[in-house]
């Protein structure tokens, strides 16, 4: 851990890299607002975590992904983050990297997330994220493919839950317009439901295909549907409005794209 006069150049470089691409992080916390933060382009290896624990004297480890969105650094882990996590990250970045940053810590649904919140820092994989990457030409596994679809369903449930929270916040802040929040929830839910109909059918066709040739054809069709799905959500004005709302941070694109990208890796295998 850097002292008051020593710049942690690796942390500074990692945070700068996270502004333009998704990175990985490991946070070793000591107490409520101290510890060591590692941000890197590749997954943080156990040796680096062990070194961070040694330097900081901390033992509670959180691992996940880090990226920049709407003026904030987003730190996602596989479960609800500790209440003091954002404060600790801001403090460490200021002290060790001499960077003043805005931070949002939240539970993510990316299938690559590893949760290391135990005292020993041993990574565990979330139940819906056992299949993080598709096997390289090892044959199609219906069970693993369905796990990736389950992660996608979990992402949509999280988005719905976040939208319900936003609806409640709008009702509290704008009591004169009680239907606005409800209308936003219904709009986003309706958009995703309409897109889901085509995608569910395309993914079902992959599972039900009887021959390798039929399955490859179904895979190609499903990839096309996913691409259209992602492009439609990315340019939807309602999605942009929700993600820029001033009341609370909500990401729709990130969890959807992360889980759909995992499905695409299976379809491309």
**DSSP per-residue codes, 148-164:** HHHHHHHHHHHHHHHHH
79-107 tens-digit pLDDT: 878 888 899 999 999 999 999 999 998 88
Q: Which residues are within 8 A (CB) of 164 and not within 5 positions of it... i.e. 6 or more apart?
A: 185
Domain that holds residue 234: 142-268
Name 106's bridge partners.
76
Looking at the structure, tell me whether residues 125 and 159 fall in a common domain: no
pLDDT for 128 beyond 60? no
Among residues 129, 161, 188, which one ends one of the domains? Answer: 129
Q: Is 193 exposed, middle or buried (0-12, 13-18, 19+ CB in 10 A)?
A: exposed
> Does any domain span residue 135?
no
* DSSP letter (8 states) at residue 35: E
Q: Are strands 103-107 and 72-77 parallel, antiparallel or unpaired?
A: parallel
Tally of structural domains, the chain: 2
Task: Could you list the beta-strand ranges (E) of 45-188.
Answer: 60-69, 72-77, 103-107
pLDDT for 185 beyond 90? no
More confident site: 190 or 120: 190
> Does any domain span residue 233?
yes
Among residues 64, 96, 129, which one ends one of the domains? Answer: 129
> Does any domain span residue 45?
yes
Looking at the structure, tell me whether residues 146 and 261 fall in a common domain: yes
Are 52 and 26 within 8 A, CB to CB?
A: yes
Mean pLDDT of the chain: 80
Residue 134 pLDDT: 42
> Does any domain span residue 1?
no
Tokens 């709407």 found at: 70
User: Could you tell me what percentage of the chain is helix, strand and coil, using 3-state DSSP and rounding each to the nearest 5?
Assistant: 55, 15, 30
Which of 231, 228, 226, 252 is closest to 240 using CA atoms? 252
pLDDT for 16 beyond 90? yes
């Amino acid at each position: 851990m850097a002292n008051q006069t020593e710049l942690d150049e690796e942390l500074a470089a990692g945070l700068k890299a996270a502004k333009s691409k998704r990175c990985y992080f490991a946070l070793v916390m000591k107490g409520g607002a101290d510890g060591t933060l590692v941000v890197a382009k590749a997954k943080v290896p156990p040796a680096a975590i062990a070194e961070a624990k040694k330097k900081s004297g901390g033992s509670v480890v959180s691992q996940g992904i880090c990226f920049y969105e709407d003026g904030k650094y987003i730190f996602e882990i596989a479960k609800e983050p500790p209440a003091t996590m954002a404060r600790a990250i801001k403090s460490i970045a200021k002290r060790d990297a001499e960077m003043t940053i805005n931070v949002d810590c939240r539970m993510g649904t990316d299938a690559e997330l590893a949760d290391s919140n135990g005292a020993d820092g041993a990574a565990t994989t979330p139940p819906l994220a056992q299949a993080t990457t598709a096997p390289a030409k090892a044959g199609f596994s219906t069970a693993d493919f369905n796990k990736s679809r389950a992660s996608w369903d979990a992402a949509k449930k999280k988005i719905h839950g976040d939208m319900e929270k936003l609806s409640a916040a709008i009702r509290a802040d704008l009591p004169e317009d009680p239907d606005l929040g409800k209308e936003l929830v219904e709009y986003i839910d309706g958009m995703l439901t309409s897109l889901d109909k085509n995608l569910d059918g395309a993914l079902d066709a992959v599972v039900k295909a009887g021959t390798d040739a039929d399955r490859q054809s179904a895979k190609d069709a499903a990839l096309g549907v996913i691409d259209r799905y992602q492009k439609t959500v990315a340019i939807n004005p309602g999605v942009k409005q929700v993600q820029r709302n001033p009341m609370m941070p909500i990401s729709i694109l990130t969890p959807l794209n992360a889980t759909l990208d995992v499905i695409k890796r299976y379809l491309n295998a």
